[in-house]
Structure formats: structure tokens, C-alpha cells
Structure 1
């Protein structure tokens, strides 16, 4: 985690609502909340880099007035929309290891839970000890998920340079098990030829057998224009070639509401997902394919009360690396 220490956390004021209605696929009945703008985990596939207000690299903006604005929004007598649940970390991670970020995260989560609102959290970070006490006081309201892909040290160094290790994330699962949770597992993003190898998948599911986990959802990586530029700038040549092999077509699709995205060919994804399902089944697990990120495949919804997203192909074509 040494790389995280090189990042600067800059306090800024949040302008506009703290809670906004999520617009992506099966999250659309929830409201989203991000503690920061930017993320020190520095995952190079992060789509939030495409935001026009994204901070410079090695900088994180922390919303210093977030808890006050959150309280005002939740308690407003003029609020007309019922807040069914709040999902954290749609464009950052609230468990970045900085004391001010963690303090704001704890206060925001406590504010939400004390009002009887469900809390959905997907994280790649290390969950600190005080949060387990908070979660245990609201067992029926917290819905935790851990971002975890098969353990490949090369993947970790190149694609998630500052994020916690595979072992550290397993510790999250263990700690959540101790207080009564079986967290969901989000295998996302998978990189073809790098994290979907048979031996890695077998070891992955064999390792998970030692824990109590909930639903397991999988999706291969997408290639958005901003991510393509990030890959061009930061990937070693060998891994640029791997990505080129995975994305032979230059066709863009619309995934979710307005996201221009290149998808790995459907035949490759179908074959990969079937292999993952077969290996998972051997170890006693059922794996779901994320429908939101695979609109051209028969997949599953992350939340069962959601309607399926629509699919629309866009004709725009761009070269992969130019």
C-alpha cells in the first residue's frame, strides 16, 4: 500500500445532492454515494477517469461537507422520492486507507443506517475494525460485496497497483463471516488470458470453499474510450497486445444508460463464462453473469427486483491503440 501514501487528499465542498439516483442497470432503484472524487487504489480500468471533473492523478478530492449535506437531504421535509437503499462506491472506494476518508465513510454509513435505509457496499479495500461493530448492529440492512478476481500477481501490479492484496480481501470475508454475513463476490473485471486461466480459477474457487459467501457475479472487462487511453499510456507492450487480442473489433456498444463501450467478442465471453460456471459448480458454487455488463448475453441481474437493461449498438468505430 506504499503507493497510496504518495497521493494527496484535498478537501472540497460537494456541490449538488450527495445522493443521486443510480442510472446503471440493476442499480436503478437505489441511490448512489461516493465519499471521494478520484481513488488512490489507481485501478487503471476505472471508468471514473472519463469524468470531466475527475481530479489529476495522485489526487483525491474528499467531500468535507458530505455528512452534513447527506443529513440535510435525508431529513428534508420536501423530499418526495423514497430512498430504498444507498449503494456506495460506484465511482470510487470508501475504504481507501486515509483517516479523513474513513472517518467520513463511517459517519455517512451510520447516518444512513440509523434511518433504517439499506446500505449496499462493494469494495476492494480493507474494512477497518470499527465498521464491523457498526455492521453487526444493522445486520439486516447492510449488503456487503467484495471485489475479487483469481489471484495473479502480475494482474495486481499492473491493473490494481495500490489496491489491497487478494489475501487482505479474503480477510474482509473472514471478518464479515464472524459477524454473520456471507458477502457477495464480484469477479470483475476479468482479463482474458490473464485472470481466467483454468488453474487460477480452480485455485480461486477452492480457496472460497473455506468461507461463507453469497452470490458470485462475474463480468469480463469493458473497454471505454477513457480506459483505452489509460491502457495506451500505462500498460507494458505485452499487455497491450493481450488487450488487442481480447478486443479485435472496434465496434462500440451502449451499456447501461449512456456508456460507449467495447465488449469482448460474444463467443469468447460465452466460452469463458461457461468454463467459470463449470469450475465453480465443481466446487459447489453457482456463478451469475452480470446482465448489465453483458447486454448481448443471457445473464442475471445483480438485484432481483430490477428490470433488464436495454441493448443498443452504436456504429462509431475507433482504433484500439493509435
Structure 2
């Protein structure tokens, strides 16, 4: 793994190119991610530095401080991050991320974080001081370590993510679970889903967002490379033989999605299984515009922060 510092030239707070987050201030403190999840769309971006390389914007914390002093209005909240996991276990990344988050929280700006990494205790202590300004989604689709390490080789283990949830709940932050991406025939089975719901039910989790894996050429290439010697690959690809092209609201792109009938029925099944454990599993409108009118992620997060902050300025 090669870690190098680079300079951020433009603004720190930017609008995401993802439609679901287009009205949200977002921060991407790195290019590249050590987790190397096989389904990661960012690995196909032209700016991606290549597997095994992480570029850290070392000057970003100081630029953010200057930027906040010159802005006429501060955003309600900031999303971390659309192209990487900011809690990947790299000291340089964690240091920059901590400085960015602490600066925002000190200015009364909320943070929204989606992670599949392990949350260090230092971050938990920070979050506990500003719990009303912190909204966290923990990405987890299975508690089966054998499955997880094939699709997310360097991300936190399922047990580490369950520990994240436990510790967050202990400091008064109830996270949302992100079932994303579900992989057909692998993580969307009743046995896999109910095993996960059984584990998280005791923490008071009441909400889970669902999305299925969609395919792009780079994602398919990564799947074939990572899973070529496993029983998963042909099973997964067989489900997409009857797939369909889909224009995502979440991005300005066209992907191959599972057949709408499959997704609709599978979402209904998972929602029913989750309900047995007191969990509301809903379908994200960002990646399923042909199925649901559920508000986009940015709208949901905006409502969350508005409730806590009593403000309306998203960006």
C-alpha cells in the first residue's frame, strides 16, 4: 500500500455529482481506498489512483477552517464521503478525517457518515460530544465472515461493524443500517438476512436502507477477478443475464440492474423478514427509480438534520 499526500486546489466543501446528494455539501479527503470492495463504483473513475494507492489531501483541514470563516451561510450538514471510506485504517487518513469532522462540529455543522470501517474510540468520543449533529450509516449486508471477506477484503469484519453499532448506541447515536449492495443469491437469502437482523435487533436499530448491486464494466471486471475461484461468481452473474439497463437518479450514468420483478419481490421479502425483528427496511429511491418514489438520500438526511438543528440551509 502506497500512501501519499497531495494538495487540495479547489474548495473543500463541494456539491456531489451524485443526483441524490446534489444539494448536499460533501467532503472527499482522499482519492483511493484500502478496502477495495469488489462492487465499488469509484474504482472505475478516471481519477482513481489504482488499487494499492491512497492519496490524502493533507492541506484540507486548514483550507476548511479558512473556508468556513469566509462563507456567508454554513451548511446544515456535510456528507463524508462519496468516493472513499474516510475511516479506512490508515493513520494519515484518520488524522485528516478527524480534524475535518471536529472543525465542522465545532462550527455547529452536522456530519453524515457512511462507513464499512472500524470506528476508532477517538471518533466515538468526538461524536458523543456532538451527538445531535451526527448521523451515521453502517454498511453491512452479512454476518458471514467467509462471504464478507470475499466481497470486501480489507473492510472491517462483520463483528467489528456490529461493535460499531453497539458503541454508537451506547453513546446515544442510533445508526441506520445500510444493506448496500445486496448481492443476488448470496446476501439476499432469508438465512443471511435474518441472521443479520437477529444480531442487530437488540441494539434498537429501527431503520435499514436497501439497494442491489448494479453492474458496470469495471465492477464486473473486479467481480470476475476477485471471485473467480469461488462458487459465488457464476451464481451472481446468472442473475444479471435477464438484467435491464437503468438510468440512475443517483448518478448521471446507465448501468445494468437486476430485472425489476426480481428486485421488487426481493425487497418485499427482505422488508417482511426485517419487520419480524422490528426493523423498517425501505428501498432507496436513488438506485431504484423504477420501483419506488422514496425520497432521495439527501432529502432524508436533510430532514434528519433539520429536525435536530432547526435550520434549512443544506449547502
Using the size of structure 2 for normalisation, the TM-score is 0.89
| 2:6 is the counterpart of 1:12 | yes
Greater shift, 212-221 or 245-254, is seen at 245-254
Query: Are 1:111 and 2:103 counterparts?
Result: yes
Structure 2: give runs of 5+ residues left out of the alignment: 304-315
Q: Does 1:252 align with 2:248?
A: no
Whether 1:57 and 2:51 are equivalent positions in the alignment is yes
The structure 1 residue matched to 2:232, chosen from 227, 239, 244, is: 239
Which residue of structure 1 lines up, in the alignment, with residue 83 of structure 2? 91
For residues 57-108 of structure 1, what are the alpha-carbon distances to aligned partners after superposition, in whole Å with 9 as ceiling and x for unaligned?
11111111111122222222xx466523100021101111121111111100
The 5 Å alignment of 1:1-322 reads 7-76=1-70, 79=71, 82-236=74-228, 238-249=231-242, 251-255=244-248, 256-301=250-295, 302=297, 303-304=299-300
C-alpha deviation, 1:252, in angstroms: 2.9
Partner of 1:313: none
Give the structure, 1 or 2, with the largest relative contact order (CA under 8 Å, sep 6 or more).
2
Q: Is the 8 A contact 1:126 1:164 kept in 2?
A: yes
Q: Distance in 2 between matches of 1:196 and 1:9?
A: 35
3-state SS, counterpart of residue 195 of structure 1: coil
- Name the structure with the higher helix share: 2
Measured against aligned partners, the alpha-carbon deviations of 1:135-165 in whole angstroms (never above 9, x if no partner) come to 1111111111100112233321221001111
User: Residue 4 of structure 2 contacts residue 55 of structure 2 at CA under 8 Å; is this kept in 1?
Assistant: yes
- 1:96-137 Cα distance to aligned partner (Å, 9 max, x none): 112111111110001111111110011011111111121111
Aligned-residue Cα RMSD (Å) equals 1.9
1:264-288 CA-to-partner distances (Å, cap 9, x unmatched) read 1111111111110111111111111
Mean CA deviation greater in 97-106 or 248-257: 248-257
Q: Deviations over 1:38-59 (max 9, x none)?
A: 0001101111112111112111
* Per-residue deviation, 1:305: 7.3
Partner residue in 1 for 2:312: none
| Structure 1: gaps of 5 or more residues | 1-6, 308-322
Retained in 2: the 8 A contact 1:10–1:60?
A: yes
Residue-pair matches, total: 299
